[in-house]
Structure 1
Amino acid sequence: MAGKFVISKDKKGEFRFVLKAGNGEIIAMSEGYASKDGAKNGIESVRKNAADATVVDES
């Protein structure tokens, strides 16, 4: 099963999204957004930028 983005509204009224792996495990979590459209834009940004993102190990 493919991963999926899930948008929800938190107790403070902010919209957040999580990225869930095919097994349902949360693998990424967003900041809070004032609107659902803001959260959707955040998802599109992750989709656009994550494919070519580099990995930096700062440990």
Structure 2
Amino acid sequence: MGKFVISKRTNGEFQFNLLAGNGQVILSSEGYSAKAGCENGIDSVRKNAQDDNRFDRKTSTNGKFYFALKASNGQIIGSSQMYESESGRDNGIASVKENAPASPVEDQTV
């Protein structure tokens, strides 16, 4: 089973990563000024990860593949790493769908 990990950036902002069961980061958030915003972001990932239309599948300028998960208002909640192939990216999306709903939260800021 995966988990969400809340951490603090060097600039003091909070962020979360969703990790797959193998510990690999499958989704990273933006920076949040308050921990409550970060926690709301996690809730939003849990809600939106089940809707395939919320995943924006993209190709970077260097030809690598990635995705962004968007909320119903179109805002990006989290972004993936870069993948070498479309199938790798699609496996990453499947992993977010599988792990996000029930993953516990590990807060590393306390």
Q: TM-score, normalised by structure 2?
A: 0.49
Specify every segment of 5 or more residues in structure 2 that has no aligned partner in the other structure, as ranges: 60-110
Cα deviation for residue 52 of structure 1 reads 1.4
The runs of at least 4 consecutive aligned structure 1 residues that moved more than 2 Å come to 53-59
Higher RCO (C-alpha 8 Å, min separation 6): 2
| Structure whose residues are more often strand by fraction | 2
User: CA separation of 1:43/1:57 partners in 2, compared to 1, >3 Å: closer, same or farther?
Assistant: closer
Structure 1 gaps, min length 5: none
Alignment match, 2:96: none
What percent identity do the matched residue pairs reach? 57
Give the structure 1 partner of residue 22 of structure 2: 23
Q: In structure 2, do the counterparts of structure 1 residues 30 and 57 end up closer, same or farther at CA, with 3 Å as the change threshold?
A: closer
Aligned equivalents of 2:37, 2:29: Cα separation in 1:
11
What's the secondary structure of 2:16's corresponding residue? strand
What is the TM-score when the length of structure 1 is the normalising length? 0.88
SS at match of 1:8: strand
Question: In structure 2, how many angstroms separate the alpha carbons of the residues matched to 1:12 and 1:56?
Answer: 28
Seen in structure 2, the aligned counterparts of structure 1 residues 23 and 49 have a Cα distance that, compared at 3 Å, is: same
